[in-house]
Amino acid sequence: MKKIQLSEHFTYSKLIRFTLPSMIMMVFSSIYGVVDGFFVSNFVGKTAFTAVNFILPVLMILGSVGFMFGTGGGALIAKTMGEGDDRRANELFSLIVYTSIGCGVVLAGVGFLLLRPLAQALGAEGAMLQDCIIYGSILLPAIPAYVLQYEFQCLCVTAEKPNLGLAITVASGLTNMVLDALFVAVLPFGLPGAAAATALSQCVGGILPLIYFARPNGGRLRLGRTRWSSRSLFKACTNGSSELMSNISMSLVSMLYNAQLLHYAGEDGIAAYGVLMYVSMIFQALFIGYSVGTAPVVSFHYGAGHHTELRGLLRKSASIVSVFAVVMFVGARLLAAPLSHLFVRYDATLLAMTNHAFSIFSFCFLFSGYAIFGSSFFTALNNGLISAAISFLRTLVFQIFCVLVFPLFWQVDGIWASLVAAEAMAVCVTLVFLRAKQKNYGY
């Protein structure tokens, strides 16, 4: 089948074909991220499973820098290609990758210093605190590769090689799954084994594409010599600040949810929330994958001044996201019981709580895709400010307000309902921004 280029006119069929590898890549990445939780919960125990969910948001904050460089840098690179300057696009590509490696090393060092005090400040103590330290300490050396893994999930699409990103994600995922089964289910390595499996899989996901782009690859982008440009890096970071904000905010909010659930429902509440987040990662990966796949297309046509194509991309994307939303809502309702049973079948009380939480949480999927795509759309237009505003409101402001206020009236049910309310509010904000900037960008 002929390779689809960014410069083409995109029909519904072509959009799906071009973004499908990114969607599968994100879904697969989420699934293998859930594998740790499955093996830890079923083979190590509830306390270790709670510890993984407790400390994971801290580690995700560190790795999310790669998403910032990937989305923001990818938008700048694709816009530059749309303007016809491939040489400069390669310089930007190299500059962004080299800078992100340096940032990953620094973040790993900071993580080692802050791991224990952060876990203690969040309320971990006793056996759960020790499990948090064990899991985090093994994953931190792989943070530079984790940053690259996030980054190349976006930059492979910008390089018109979405299938490469998919292949590397599958290789990374299979590494994690096989090693998890070996280290946790077969060999008695327990929680350290699960952490080692994840760290090694992150090295596969980050280092393989680095090697690929360092060699001649027949594509438009390759690592090579570059020029330092603080202005370009600042532009890439501000472009991608919404994705960074989204990841940081979700991690911070997860900590707040954990604290609220610890207060209202104890360790069972944190474990149930962990199951919801695992499922949410998989389902929302479709929205994120579609947004990542379309972003370079939007950036290219924006850079080329093709306003009619921009309008078509926005309208087609709204229809596609709507179909995904309905399908995922129905899927969440149907799969709530079997998914809950998969993780926590060993505890009847926890299983009942998780099932009930699912019955409320599933409504999130009717709303979340619109704000995710809207934020990505403005990133692709190189408007990092609006993109960041949507993400900041969706993942931080609305979430914090709801999770602090709703439980005062509805206890634990208020915590589950706050997830839905925050997503609905974010859709309203996204529509306002899209309408306000319609004339500016000609979509």
| Spatial CA neighbour of 48 closest among 271, 307, 254, 283 | 271
Phi first, then psi: give them for residue 194, nearest 5 degrees: -65, -40
| 69, 149 contact by CB (below 8 A) | no
| 392, 399 contact by CB (below 8 A) | no
| 366, 329 contact by CB (below 8 A) | yes
What value does the CA radius of gyration of the chain take, rounded to a whole number of Å?
Answer: 21
Report the alpha-carbon distance of residue 1 to residue 266 in Å, rounded: 54
In 70-193, which ranges are E strands? Answer: none
- Mean pLDDT over each residue of the chain, to the nearest integer: 86
* pTM exceeding 0.95: no
In tens, the pLDDT along 235-287 reads 888 877 766 777 777 777 877 887 888 788 877 887 888 788 877 888 888 99
CB contact set of 412 (below 8 Å; sequence gap of 6+): 261, 264, 265, 269, 353
Is residue 118 pLDDT above 60, yes or no? Answer: yes
Show the tokens assigned to 315.
């309208």
In tens, the pLDDT along 103-116 reads 999 999 999 998 88
Confidence of residue 335 (pLDDT cuts 50, 70, 90): confident
In terms of Cβ atoms closer than 10 Å to its own Cβ (0-12, 13-18, 19+), residue 269 is buried
Which secondary structure element, helix H or strand E, spans residue 173, and what is its range? helix 162-180
Question: What pLDDT sits at residue 166?
Answer: 83
Question: What pLDDT sits at residue 2?
Answer: 64
Question: Which whole number is the average pLDDT over 372-393?
Answer: 88
The terminus-to-terminus CA distance of the chain in angstroms comes to 30
Show the tokens assigned to 29.
């990445």
In tens, the pLDDT along 16-75 reads 988 988 888 888 777 766 777 778 877 887 788 778 877 877 788 888 888 889 888 888
Please report, for residues 51, 146, 268, the alpha-carbon distance to residue 131 in angstroms, rounded to integers and kept in the order given. 6, 21, 17
Confidence of residue 421 (pLDDT cuts 50, 70, 90): very high
Question: Which whole number is the average pLDDT over 384-412?
Answer: 88
Please report, for residues 151, 380, 413, the alpha-carbon distance to residue 73 in angstroms, rounded to integers and kept in the order given. 9, 10, 40
Report the alpha-carbon distance of residue 370 to residue 372 in Å, rounded: 6
Question: What pLDDT sits at residue 1?
Answer: 54
| 6, 297 contact by CB (below 8 A) | yes
Question: What pLDDT sits at residue 33?
Answer: 64
In tens, the pLDDT along 337-371 reads 887 887 777 778 888 888 888 889 899 999 999 99
Question: Among the listed ranges 91-95, 274-278, 302-306, which one has the minimum average pLDDT value?
Answer: 274-278
Show the tokens assigned to 420.
């839905």
Is residue 127 pLDDT above 70, yes or no? Answer: yes
| 99, 147 contact by CB (below 8 A) | no
Show the tokens assigned to 342.
């998969």
In tens, the pLDDT along 366-377 reads 999 999 999 989
Please report, for residues 113, 161, 415, the alpha-carbon distance to residue 309 in angstroms, rounded to integers and kept in the order given. 49, 21, 42
Is residue 301 pLDDT above 70, yes or no? Answer: yes
Is residue 15 pLDDT above 80, yes or no? Answer: yes
Task: Give the three-state DSSP class for 133.
Answer: helix
Question: Which whole number is the average pLDDT over 323-339?
Answer: 88
Number of H helices, E strands in the chain: 17, 0
Q: What percent of the chain has pLDDT over 70?
A: 99
Please report, for residues 73, 134, 221, the alpha-carbon distance to residue 94 in angstroms, rounded to integers and kept in the order given. 10, 35, 9
How many CB atoms are closer than 10 A to CB 106? 13
